Amino acid sequence: MAFCMRCRQEYPEASEQCPVCGSLLRQRPAWRPYDRQEPLDQVYTAYGELEAELLKGQLELEGIPVVIIRESAGLVYGLTIDGLGAQRLMVPRSLATEAREILAALQDEGGIQE
């Protein structure tokens, strides 16, 4: 089945565009299990829990497992300056290039603010 990443709906294989939002349809991503032995690479630093969780969700929709490493003082005090509140998105090294490409595409679409 073809899948719309925006609307989260499935459509018949013959469909190429989502009839609701016009996005190109693709196959539903297959989840790739996290291998605890593989080292993690940082693919993005978010300054705020909301941004980190949204980006984590987007990468997981693409089948990429994500771990968020949080700087705890920023969470306690609610600050997001000088590294406080930094939330590092970490993915398995074998998927880091793909994760960076997905994040770059989101940035090009205006989904990530610099």
Domain of residue 36: give its range.
Answer: 31-114
Residue 49, H or E segment: helix 49-61
- Tell whether 47 and 73 lie within a shared domain: yes
Q: Check: CB of residue 28 under 8 Å from CB of residue 11.
A: no
User: Vertex 22, ends 20 and 28: CA angle to 5°?
Assistant: 85
- Tell whether 10 and 64 lie within a shared domain: no
Which are the contacts of 29, defined by CB distance < 8 A and separation ≥ 6? 61, 62, 63
pLDDT score of 54:
92
- Residue 37: CATH number of its domain: 3.30.70
10-residue mean pLDDT profile of the chain (114 residues): values are: 72 76 70 77 90 90 88 67 80 92 83 58
